[in-house]
Chains A and B, each alone.
Chain A
Amino acid sequence: MKQSLFESRHQPEWQRFSQLLEQLERRQAKAEDCLSFPQDYRRLCQHLALAQERGYSSYLIDPLQQLALRGHQQLYRQRTPMSAKVLGFVLAGFPRLVREQWRFVLAAGLLFFGSLLGFGLLVYLFPDLVYSLISPEQVGAMQSMYDPDSSRLGRDAARASSEDWVMFGYYIMNNIGIAFQTFASGLLFGLGSVFFLFFNGLMIGAIAGHLTQIGSGQTFWSFVIGHGAFELTAIALAGAAGLQLGWALIAPGRLPRGEALLQASRKSVQLVCGVMLFLLIAAFIEAYWSSLTWPAPWIKYLVGAALWALVALYLIFAGRTAHAPE
């Protein structure tokens, strides 16, 4: 068949298909118009193959190729109902994923909490050590922040309750930023994640040890215990996600490194979504609960312990049953 005949015979079909594509791309297509879309698309593919095989002109083949590409993108895109997916992820998917990746979670947890507790203890026993990590001015700022005499707590001692909202925004920006860095730098063979986990552990440990040692322990611990459950766990999980990326590059198993990285990144980005959720909760608690001064310290410790237990129970037990909500 000559090119012109082929073209004049099928041109109307192609035009109809391209109009439908335009509607689909603008998300205005009606459902009844799309019933024949898969057939039309496959027919177009057949025409394209024929045109190529018969050596028709590029000016015929290229537009057909563009139509086929657009059709491909409409037909094979992933559509999942977002709300059902999010709910399923929060209720079951995330804790399952954390348990599935327990090796990385354990490694990241040991690195982070190990350096935190270890260095905290060291600073408590040998107070001068804190200055090897943090400059004296910063230590001074920390001390005034958690001064037992101040009326409100947090990163700014003199702040009023209208500033809770400011701090909420600040915590989200700061903490999620740190979590993202911890995750992303894991791509460098896991080294970045190891560094950030270790470094953040040292910093927090140093501050905790120092403040406890100089006698601000009560204000400090009652402040951090509540949101710490979510915040510290989230940093450790972000590190675990980063380590997973790095490990895929170090030990890809029987896959090529690129493929191993792809598979690892699919899992780890889900982990990071969970981390973001945790950090949002943490920022909320930090801004609106931890900064309050009226609850007696024992109430704060009690609530803090309950929150830690909640996080642990959630990560260990949620989504274990076979009929977990999907």
Chain B
Amino acid sequence: MSFAPPTLLASALDFFLNQASHQLPMLETTAPPRKAPLHPPLDTRYQVETPEGIDLPLRPAGLMSRAMAFAIDLGFRGAILGVLFVALAFLGKLGMGLGSLLLFLISWWYMVLFEVLNQGRSPGKMLMGLRVVQDDGTPIGWGPSLTRNLLRFADMLPFGYFLGAISCLQHPTFKRLGDLAAGTLVIYRERTLERPALPEAEPKRAPFALKLDEQRAILGFAERQSQLSAERIEELAAILAQPLQVPITQAKAELNGIARGFLGPT
């Protein structure tokens, strides 16, 4: 078996890795690179290390989606209060007393109750796919939830969430003041992944030893083929045609074969 010149091979692989990882933004953070020359990707993920020694990535939610969630909640609360007040108006004086109790409950406790009892999700957050957790990724409790929602008042100063927005925009995990004090985090909920089928190919061995992130890049290339255009697949595969010592037209099949080989017999 003949080898491509090592410098050429290394640079081609690096280039492929870079190209492929632009397509695959989650690749190299999920597996810690051993001797990776890559820059860490520009993303907002927040890693929580558990007592078991594994890193769980959380995805903090930014200002816009949180503002949308708040707007939905505001509308929802307004609707509840509107309906209740109409209903309570028939009860006369008793209704007025009940009404102001409800106004108090809904304006100060709506968020707290939903967050603690509904896995960190108020209706607005639910619709936007968000949830509140504590800094260590555990579900939010009464104390932190109360803190972050009481301090909402400070976030709203001097008008329209001014301080909250500034704090949110400059913080690496988008915390507003209430989140800072309570030690909480608003994250995107995880969605279940649809697993694509690997393209059919004859399993093959790679003609040279591959590093871990290179293996993952090739696997990723095969798994994400259905999401890429035919031209882009050709273009990516062509980068490795020379080191693999195959014609450019066969590079794609070769890479799919290697990916099959990594996966093993099913």
Contacts and interface: CB of A to CB of B under 8 A. Distances in A.
A261 interface: yes
B5 interface: no
A188 B195 CA distance: 49
A265 B26 contact: no
A72 B143 contact: no
Contact of A187 (B57, B177, B196): B177
Interface stretch (A1-9, A226-234, A299-307): A1-9
A63 B141 CA distance: 26
Contact of B216 (A58, A65, A167, A184): A58
A173 interface: yes
A52 B31 contact: yes
B193 A62 contact: yes
A56 to B, nearest CB: 8
Contact of B143 (A65, A76, A187, A266): A266
Interface stretch (B6-14, B61-69, B92-100): B92-100
A20 interface: no
Interface stretch (B146-154, B233-241, B244-252): B146-154
Q: Summarize A's interface: helix, strand, loop or mixed.
A: helix
A57 B264 contact: no
A211 interface: no
Contacts of A163: 93
Nearest to B261: A2
Given A58-B216, A184-B153, A72 B101 contact: no
Interface string A142-169: 0000000000000000000011011111
A270 B220 CA distance: 50
Contact of B30 (A1, A54, A58, A78): A58
Interface residues of B, number: 65
Nearest to B52: A45
A239 interface: no
B182 A265 contact: yes
A65 B97 contact: no
Contact of B264 (A2, A55, A76, A272): A2
A201 interface: no
A68 B138 CA distance: 12
A192 B154 contact: yes
Interface in B116-156: 119, 133, 136-139, 141, 143, 146-147, 150-154
Contacts of B264: 1-5
A78 B141 contact: yes
B199 to A, nearest CB: 14
Contact of A78 (B53, B138, B192, B213): B138
Contact of A172 (B93, B100, B193, B265): B100
Contact of A184 (B103, B152, B263): B152
B138 A59 contact: no
Interface string B221-238: 001000000000000000
Nearest to A159: B93
A170 B177 CA distance: 29
Interface string A30-47: 000000000001100110
Nearest to B108: A180
Contacts of B242: none
A213 interface: no
Contacts of B190: 66, 69
Given A78-B138, A269-B146, A270-B143, A173 B104 contact: yes
A225 interface: no
A169 B96 contact: yes
Given A62-B26, A169-B99, A184-B153, A57 B137 contact: no
Given A55-B31, A265-B182, 16 more contacts: A3-B262, A4-B263, A4-B266, A41-B52, A52-B31, A61-B31, A69-B58, A78-B141, A169-B101, A170-B100, A181-B153, A187-B154, A245-B181, A262-B180, A269-B147, A269-B182
Interface of B: 24, 26-27, 30-32, 48, 50-54, 56-58, 93-94, 96-101, 103-104, 108, 119, 133, 136-139, 141, 143, 146-147, 150-154, 157, 163, 177, 180-183, 190, 192-193, 195-196, 212-213, 215-216, 219-220, 223, 262-266
26 contacts: A2-B263, A4-B266, A45-B54, A53-B31, A54-B212, A55-B31, A56-B216, A56-B219, A58-B24, A58-B30, A58-B223, A59-B193, A68-B54, A68-B56, A69-B190, A72-B138, A73-B139, A77-B141, A165-B98, A166-B96, A170-B100, A188-B154, A261-B180, A262-B180, A262-B183, A269-B182
